[in-house]
Structure 1
Amino acid sequence: MTDTATPATTTSTRPAPGSTPSPAPGASPTATTPARRRRGPWWRTVLAKAAPILAALGGIVAVWYLVSLVVLEPSRRFLLPPPHEVLRNTLGNPQVIDPMLDALGQTVMVAVSGLTIAVALGMGWAIVMSQSRWAERILYPYAVILQTIPILALTPLIGIWMGYGFGARIVVCVIIAVFPMIANTLFGLQSATAAAHDLFTLNRATRWQRLTRLQLPAAVPAIFTGLRNAAGLSVIGAIVGDFFFQQGSPGIGGLLRTYTLRLSMDSLFLAIILTALFGVLVFSIFAALDRAVVGRLFGSTTR
């Protein structure tokens, strides 16, 4: 009688598809886990984010020198003086730099005030439109009209109705900066999925609960995008208001107009430089705030 040998049962050690293999016996538990991304010194992060801006500024300065020293004839170089001459003739002159810094402070006040009003007005406008189709059909065309009418056509009326001082400048700033807040906030409020709305409906959520717990949280990325765009436009609006409304303390836009009429090229270019730096600073602050808040709430690292 022949004994039939039963084959030994072998256990496969191959991991299932999509599963994480277990570490070998005796191996360190951290040997197979992905290494955590180490962050370098803070100054490297700041330098990496500032490098594109610094490169752009370097390119602008290089083109400026090229046009001033190579393209223009010496007799016409006063139209575009080299950067070092502009800084030498203006920064060391208190009669130029002191009024310019005061005017820049006035422009900052107009831009901050106009941006604050534009954010509050734009978000409120969008929230009202998001609650009713009829409200959106009635109110949204006014927002479009406000955006498409050239501001130069409205400044005479604003000056006649409100005077030519600080209040008129803020109105111009609000008109220019409010539309991005309206459009982006409305888009964000309407971005919640139908499944999420159905869940709130099944739980018999009130309109206020739906707005505060679903629509507004879903709209945070779009709101910050609108805030970033409105911040840049508020600087433009403040300068435009300063340019046209001359009563009261002059802003940087008023000085731009004065220097242009006088052909004070050194002072004019310094005012342009300060204006550009102010705009870049405001945009960078709100872009960093966007990345910090949205990245923390939504776990995004690519913004």
Structure 2
Amino acid sequence: MVSLAVPTATSVESSHRVVRRIRPRVVFAKLLAPAVSFGLAIAVWYLVSMVLLGASRRFLLPPPHAVFTESLANPAKLELMSRALAVTAKVAVSGLAVSAVLGVAVAVLMSQAKPIERVVYPYAVVLQAIPVLAVVPLIGLWFGYGTAARTIVCVLIAIHPIIAMTLFGIQSVDRNLQELFTLGCASRLRRLWALQLPAALPSIMTGLRTAAGLSVTGAIIGDMFFAQGRPGIGTLLDNYRARLQSEDLIAALLLAALFGVLVFAIFTAAQKLTVGRWHESAR
């Protein structure tokens, strides 16, 4: 005879105590790895700057404290970089929004008709394969050298992951569910809205998260090549490089990197909120 043990109040309370003990350890473990990694990066930075580089070549990589005191701690320079970063952020968000709308729309069209996929998808692949820097002169000739050109660069760089992942998600819907909708005589629009797009949501969010980082890269590249209008962070990076302002160059680069990490973190949180706990990608 098999006996079933019924949990008592004491056992439940003890399990709650174990959970309360484990959670701080888990949080500490998650914070420890980034902290150690950051400390090692700073140590390597100091090693290269203060030991491997001589005093005459230290301008190539100033030490962290020099970057902080000479640039980040300077209110005038920090304000200039912040304004430039705001311009770049606006372009990156605009480019990502256009990429999301166009990418999802193109992927949906391709998923509904094989002839459209055969015609359109090769162009999407070619668009991804062509170096953006090679078409930058044409973009400047056709669309000018202002915000519109910067946004187009973002779209060219960021749209392919959205198209590819959305199409993959829609085409990967479980066949049994597809047959269930067929038996129910569901229309094409009903099948798309109630089955295919919800099932493809994890893939769509993964594509958006990838495209978000690429959009920031595209905005910075656009800043460097299209300097009309308000300067972006890429414009400052190019100016600091030309003037050999190493401290300002590294400080602007760090701010751009922090912005990229922030965008990635926002879309990671959005993926967890939209997908929830029903898919492995949100865990």
With normalisation by structure 1, the TM-score equals: 0.85
Whose RCO is larger (CA < 8 A, sep 6+)? 2
Q: 1:142 — aligned with what?
A: 123
Distance 1:129 1:31 in 2: 56
Matching of residue 163 in structure 1 with residue 144 in structure 2: yes
Question: Residues 227 and 286 of structure 1 are in contact (CA less than 8 Å); yes or no, is this contact kept in structure 2?
Answer: yes
Offset of residue 53 of structure 1 = 3.8
Offset of residue 92 of structure 1 = 3.2
Offset of residue 22 of structure 1 = 2.6
Counterpart code for 1:60 = A
Query: Mind listing any 5+ residue stretches in structure 1 that lack a counterpart?
Result: 1-12, 15-20
1:28 maps to which of 2, 5, 8: 8
Offset of residue 299 of structure 1 = 5.4
Offset of residue 71 of structure 1 = 0.5
1:242 maps to which of 215, 223, 236: 223
Counterpart code for 1:28 = T
Question: Residues 202 and 279 of structure 2 are in contact (CA less than 8 Å); yes or no, is this contact kept in structure 1?
Answer: no
Offset of residue 195 of structure 1 = 1.3
Counterpart code for 1:106 = V
**1:134-177 Cα shifts (integer Å, max 9, x gaps):** 11101101110110000011110011111101110000001101
Counterpart code for 2:59 = F
Question: Residues 295 and 301 of structure 1 are in contact (CA less than 8 Å); yes or no, is this contact kept in structure 2?
Answer: no
Q: 2:244 — aligned with what?
A: 263
- The share of aligned pairs that are identical, in percent, is 52
- Residues paired across the two proteins, number: 282
Q: 1:105 — aligned with what?
A: 86
With normalisation by structure 2, the TM-score equals: 0.91
SS at match of 2:145: coil
SS at match of 1:106: helix
Counterpart code for 2:163 = I
Counterpart code for 1:271 = A
- Which has the larger displacement, 52-61 or 278-287? 52-61
Distance 1:113 1:41 in 2: 43
Offset of residue 38 of structure 1 = 3.9
SS at match of 2:276: helix
Offset of residue 217 of structure 1 = 1.1
Query: Mind listing any 5+ residue stretches in structure 2 that lack a counterpart?
Result: none
Which of structures 1 and 2 has the bigger CA Rg? 1
Question: Residues 23 and 29 of structure 1 are in contact (CA less than 8 Å); yes or no, is this contact kept in structure 2?
Answer: no
SS at match of 1:199: helix
**1:215-250 Cα shifts (integer Å, max 9, x gaps):** 111101101110110111111011010011000000
